[in-house]
Amino acid sequence: MDHTVRVLVLGKTSQLGLEFKSALEACPFTKNWSAEFLSRREVNLTKVDSLRKLREIPFDILINTAAYTEVDKAEKQQQRCARINALALEEIASICARNNALLIHYSSDYVYHNELRRPLIEQDPTTPKSTYAITKLLGEKLLKALHKKYFIIRTSWLYSAHKQNFLKTMLQLAQNDKPIKVVNDQQGSPTYAADLAEGTLHMIQYYLDKNKDESLHGTYNFSNTGSTTWYGFAKEIFKHAGLAVELVPVSTDEFPRPAKRPPYSVLDSSRVSKSFQLDIPNWQDGIRRCLETINS
Ligand SMILES: NC(=O)c1ccc[n+]([C@@H]2O[C@H](COP(=O)([O-])OP(=O)(O)OC[C@H]3O[C@@H](n4cnc5c(N)ncnc54)[C@H](OP(=O)(O)O)[C@@H]3O)[C@@H](O)[C@H]2O)c1
């Protein structure tokens, strides 16, 4: 079979990696693409020797969904978090540069953590305030210093039918038949990982159709459109799930956590929408479809 595009995905077991697997199988334009998924066992981002195995694998596009994502635990595992989220990017970006491959890397709304209180655009100031956020921003910078063919995609409040995430936690808590306290003073944009995976495939296809137009390289926000609080997110989950749960709105102060959360990190995704002619569904529709997948 003649493969026109060879895709390599790091983070086989991530929420996003699992959604890439489904999206690549379902997508009409990826039929003659080949995709290989690597887990931590195959390539460990904390080990340079292990990362160097990537040199032996031929690919045109590398999608890095692997990351240290335990935001609170990161405060006690700073070095490990930095190795995975930042230092590994030096090796990954160098290998992509050597292969002249497109590198797609995911970053976070947490890198902004500014006081603007309006939907954030890519040029807004970045003042990350937790180990996770600082290492994600450093990863972006190391990548950009070593390779120019990249899409850095900053996303937020990711959830899916797989693994543990806010939506799954809410459904589990609902089983206890007790009131659930949820933070109501942090604003953000919940993002269904399936929409992010499909959107990324669309970005790739658009880029290929435009003969790998260099002007498309760069940093993009990507979340489902609209915004809410964690409380609003929970309310919408239970509405679509048809569950009568007593929700109690609380402030961030009532839930002290080791890592600081941005009070406002709504992402403005219009740049990616305009650049790639991409329609991104709203956050409520993402929840509806995720619950359909869970129930099917
Ligand atoms: N989750 C969110 O709310 C959120 C928000 C904004 C941005 N993001 C970003 O979006 C991307 C995808 O997030 P996600 O929620 O899909 O991630 P996830 O489900 O938490 O998965 C993280 C992945 O990284 C892998 N990993 C961890 N340490 C590794 C190591 N040393 N070597 C190799 N692989 C390693 C994990 O492998 P194992 O299964 O073996 O541990 C897992 O596949 C990440 O870049 C994340 O920073 C996430």
In a 3-state reduction of DSSP, which class is residue 31? Answer: coil
- With residues binned 3-state (H G I as helix, E B as strand, rest as coil), the percentages for the chain, rounded to 5, are 45, 20, 35
**Closest-lying ligand 1 atom to the alpha carbon of residue 13:** 43
Strand partners, 192: 159
Q: Mean pLDDT, to the nearest integer, of 189-211?
A: 97
pLDDT for 2 equals 55
Asked whether the beta carbons of 136 and 128 are under 8 A apart, the reply is yes
pLDDT for 71 equals 98
CA distances from 120 to 33, 143, 194, 264 (A): 34, 22, 22, 9
Q: In what helix (H) or strand (E) does residue 103 lie, and over which residues does it extend?
A: strand 102-108
List the end-to-end C-alpha distance of the chain, in Å, as a whole number. 33
Amino acid at 102: L
How many Cα atoms sit within 13 Å of 181 on the Cβ side? Answer: 6
Ligand 1 center from residue 66 Cα (angstroms): 4
C-alpha 59/C-alpha 64 separation (Å) is 13
Whose alpha carbon is nearest atom 2 of ligand 1? 158
**Closest-lying ligand 1 atom to the alpha carbon of residue 69:** 20
Q: Mean pLDDT, to the nearest integer, of 116-142?
A: 97
Q: What percent of the chain has pLDDT over 90?
A: 96
239 pLDDT exceeds 60? yes
Binding pocket residue ranges, ligand 1, CB within 6 Å: 11, 13-17, 39-40, 44-46, 65-69, 84, 106, 108-109, 136, 155-158, 163, 193
pLDDT for 37 equals 98
Band (4; pLDDT cuts 50, 70, 90): confident
Q: Mean pLDDT, to the nearest integer, of 50-68?
A: 97
Around Cβ 178, how many Cβ atoms within 10 Å?
10
pLDDT for 3 equals 63
Catalytic positions, written as ranges: 132
| Burial of 216 from C-beta contacts in 10 A (0-12 / 13-18 / 19+) | middle
pLDDT for 254 equals 93
Ligand 1 center from residue 68 Cα (angstroms): 6
Indicate the range of 2-6, 9-13, 227-231 predicted with least confidence: 2-6
Strand partners, 104: 63, 151
**Closest-lying ligand 1 atom to the alpha carbon of residue 46:** 31
180 pLDDT exceeds 90? yes
Asked whether the beta carbons of 66 and 37 are under 8 A apart, the reply is no
pLDDT for 8 equals 98
C-alpha 8/C-alpha 148 separation (Å) is 18
Pairing label, strands 218-221, 150-155: parallel
Band (113; pLDDT cuts 50, 70, 90): very high
Ligand 1 center from residue 210 Cα (angstroms): 30
Q: What percent of the chain has pLDDT over 70?
A: 99
As a whole number, the mean pLDDT across the chain is 96
Asked whether the beta carbons of 129 and 260 are under 8 A apart, the reply is yes
